[in-house]
Amino acid sequence: MAFLPFDEHGNALLSAARAPAGPAPVSDVTGNAALSPLEWAVVRVARRDRLSTLARPGRFSGWMRRLARLPNPRLADPRLEALRRMAVLTWRYGFTVPGRDVAAFLAAGFTPAQYEALAAGIGAVRLARA
């Protein structure tokens, strides 16, 4: 159940009831913008993705995917897709991701601090599981 505030005349105060436009970025200890909750959700989902999801599908594999009714693992938003690609590589290789992939991640609008937060978060989960 939701609460909708009213003023003394019975009019709804819509400005107070509106949700924020999008998730606010979470700040890390140093005050730099880290990853938002949506971006961390993409990182968690990317844990199940294989390295083969990073390659561009050919005609035959695309046909087989449609025939088997498998979902497309790529994300529609280019920035989130760059994050997914980096997360898949980081889940697999840790901090030893090739430089061209890191450069593509940074070109998508992310910062080096966000890359370090991503790698540290994934590293902590990998360490806890081991």
Judge contact between 57 and 89, C-beta under 8 A.
Answer: no
- Output the pTM of the full model: 0.68
Q: How far apart are the first and last CA of the chain?
A: 42
> How many other β-carbons are positioned within 10 Å of the β-carbon of residue 71?
6
Predicted confidence band of residue 7 (pLDDT cuts 50, 70, 90): low
Least confident of 27-31, 32-36, 66-70, 108-112: 27-31
Q: Which pLDDT does position 80 carry in this prediction?
A: 93
Chain centroid, CA 58 distance in Å: 25
